[in-house]
Structure 1
């Protein structure tokens, strides 16, 4: 009897509990869902905010800090003497001095030699002066001394920027270019360090204020404010045959058996392409065609290449893309495309004519990639940051931009480029004590003299330097670009 009563009691309590649950207001359950939705929304917003914050710190903060609209610059300039910019071999390239009126003046000891790569601070910051602006206006001097200077109203010395630029090599390039219009770029293939960057005509940043009207209006039509090394776009001429040869190698595994009979010219649908001086090279293999810069052979190759494959290869070399460099640059252009380009354009493109355009910096990077076994490094101009007292605050580590070809492909291209020096259009360089590899180019223009090109590297077995030389509207690469390259190589290896 007692067990029966207990059992009924338990059943009754369960029933009451279920009734309570069933009687729970629907709006209370709905309220819980609303609260959860709000929690999810704010959690999502928090994650997005943190993601953007991380993206800002990694990718955008430097640009914002260096922006000319950042008022922090003005505050720092009142407390800090702008630091020095120094070459890799210890030469001061830019410094702040005091004039007779006790005014701070930015001084560039070598006038126009470093105008484009080091840059300026007046009339718009450019070059390293712009890229490292906040660094130069930041002081990491002795904290006690800095505090004392602040108290008595004396400025602290800013940090110094130690560049990758070699002053002796830069001067050799500057002198070799002379009064010609063009540029010279030198890179260390294994790291991407820019050893020299010269562009002419240039301007004197010490006199930028008094000459600004003439320079900005470009009254002489010389574009002296333009850094031709990284912003000038030119048809690459026969230097582009490096990429044409690589495209042919990838599409034809039997490329070592290549053979062509050069008769000095080739015709297609009313278009005629000549070899230099209508010279007939006779029967050539790929190495001889490359060494002699045989236009008919390479335009014949271009006729057979896959346009889309060629375009994909060139874009893997950063055509139609921003170069992975902090230096202000223009995109090199490759426009050959299935559906919108014809065979004539393909033949012209294969020899570096047509619509293809490239910067001298980009061409130097291509030469450096061949020298470096197929690995293209990111070019850079700042090696480290030091305090005014010489303490290293930050060092820059070389970074890969891309693996653009296999080691085997690079090795074969090296042999082609070496043949250009031993038995081809850059034979003048064969007299140097160091073994040089390279490629000349003569980029033709309608109604004007050709642009002269040379790109190359040395020594061939353990490359230390890759260079790109461009001389505007002057003639062949063999006659005008190669002698400039020769002087740069001589300076580097002496």
Structure 2
């Protein structure tokens, strides 16, 4: 669409203001950097000179002014895009701002620059089909020097247009692809993004998958939509509401609320809680700067919480048991790799319960040569245990939304030994590890679900066998000792009743402190948490789990 056609649509309604004053034909963007306007500085160097070095405040002022003024005035997108270092992508985004997002009016107000970065606010009007709503947000741009021309240019990122845009998403105003939903918890209490922010990605995904069948009707919405089909749209503005269909989930508002509050106490933290007897997901919460649903989609080493699975495998092999010997030396070597305990502690003549409760690495790794199948060392035994008993690593969970169900790939040598203590190539998230604790508590794997299976009749994952009753009881007993007198005792001290726990610390290359992991259960609730760089499992993740368990 050429500029003449745009002028007819926009009608001069776009305007940039500085300090509340509208732009005229020759206004200068005073006050952005504290400089005195453009000072006669041109954005374009002379033919014989390619400027270099730091940008002046005048260059930042003029470049920001020209870009924001062109954007707000409805100028030809390809012309405005020439003021950026990626004209092709910028032109597409600027054109879509009106052609797809249907923004018909806008006032853009720059703020005070910090160096070469200029914040600004947008107060816009979105109109479609007779429906009109105001829309306000803040964003920022950064001015850089062109690599080949030396010109000051806006460093193009999709976030210039809107802070939530990415390279693979765009703004669209239309009748919503799916009707809205009114998601409720297991007791009928409404679950909203405003009250439970962590549920945002999950509620979007539930709407995408079940909205058409929940009985609602679509309204007109401004959404961020992915260029692919894998990510549900995120609604930024509702022009007309439509009618929400009711969707019952397995979540528990009380537990979810506790989870939301608990993760807020730590940066980059995630927690999940499930019902061992049914697999119902009671809560999922994240506190992350990137908004990623790491609780269900994360992939990282779970540290010593993995010893629940390792212990189950060793007991099923008949090698040891809660009261049986499991020596814990300070260090142990396997296939050229040396493993040690935190702080170098040892437990001479120790039992498996003692090794489990104090999280002794060497005690578990020492058994690897004795784990045999048909008389030969079986380095794939842990993978088999994870799949056949704990339902992990087969890419077949159907929780109701997209999730990752863990990975324990085949490994040999020192890598196989590292898996025994939850390091190396093992990958889990907190939903996976909450399920592990739930399986230990229940004795049988129940695939976690966030909406009932009866909603759509989907096939749930099943483990091929349950834990032998003696092994399940042994795991519960060892987790109970850990929660009452072992490494998890302080974190679990406030909880009464029958309880169990396992701590974990996962080393990460290049990270000073390990990730803090903790899993626990109390009666018919199991939970797991991770805090990035949180240190020992009981220090950060432990209190998160305890607060979630206390809310059930």
Q: TM-score, normalised by structure 1?
A: 0.64
Which structure has more RCO (C-alpha within 8 Å, separation ≥ 6)? 1
Change (3 A) 1:76 1:288: closer
3-state DSSP class of the match of 1:252?
A: coil
Change (3 A) 1:433 1:446: same
Structure 1 residue 270, shift from structure 2 partner: 4.8
User: Pick from 388, 409, 417: which aligns with 2:471?
Assistant: 409
- 1:455 counterpart = 2:519: yes
In 2, Cα distance between equivalents of 1:466 and 1:256:
21
- 1:322 counterpart = 2:395: yes
Change (3 A) 1:158 1:314: same
Q: State whether residues 382 and 420 of structure 2, in contact with CA within 8 Å, keep that contact through their aligned partners in structure 1.
A: no
User: Pick from 368, 372, 382: which aligns with 2:438?
Assistant: 368
User: Pick from 370, 374, 381: which aligns with 2:450?
Assistant: 381
Structure 1 residue 480, shift from structure 2 partner: 0.8
3-state DSSP class of the match of 2:423?
A: coil
Q: TM-score, normalised by structure 2?
A: 0.58
RMSD: 2.9
Q: State whether residues 321 and 474 of structure 2, in contact with CA within 8 Å, keep that contact through their aligned partners in structure 1.
A: no
Change (3 A) 1:395 1:283: same
Could you tell me which residue of structure 2 aligns to residue 237 of structure 1? 303
Report which of the two has the higher share of helix.
Answer: 1
CA deviation digits over 1:201-225, x for unaligned, max 9?
1xxxxxxxxxxxxxxxxxxxx532x
CA deviation digits over 1:414-449, x for unaligned, max 9?
111111112211011144222311111111112212
Farther-moved stretch of structure 1 (405-414 vs 154-163): 154-163
Change (3 A) 1:83 1:117: closer
Could you tell me which residue of structure 1 aligns to residue 280 of structure 2? 193
- 1:309 counterpart = 2:381: yes
CA deviation digits over 1:119-144, x for unaligned, max 9?
2xxxxxxx2122212123547xxxxx
Change (3 A) 1:93 1:268: closer
3-state DSSP class of the match of 1:487?
A: helix
Structure 1 residue 259, shift from structure 2 partner: 1.9
Gaps (5+ residues) in structure 1? 1-72, 95-107, 120-126, 140-153, 202-221, 386-393
Could you tell me which residue of structure 1 aligns to residue 498 of structure 2? 435
CA deviation digits over 1:99-151, x for unaligned, max 9?
xxxxxxxxx432623213222xxxxxxx2122212123547xxxxxxxxxxxx
User: Pick from 423, 431, 445: which aligns with 2:508?
Assistant: 445
In 2, Cα distance between equivalents of 1:176 and 1:273:
33
Gaps (5+ residues) in structure 2? 1-173, 218-239, 372-377
Q: State whether residues 376 and 400 of structure 1, in contact with CA within 8 Å, keep that contact through their aligned partners in structure 2.
A: no
CA deviation digits over 1:43-91, x for unaligned, max 9?
xxxxxxxxxxxxxxxxxxxxxxxxxxxxxx96996xxx63411223433
Number of matched pairs: 345
3-state DSSP class of the match of 1:132?
A: helix
Q: State whether residues 397 and 403 of structure 2, in contact with CA within 8 Å, keep that contact through their aligned partners in structure 1.
A: no
Could you tell me which residue of structure 2 aligns to residue 162 of structure 1? 248
User: Pick from 283, 294, 309: which aligns with 2:349?
Assistant: 283
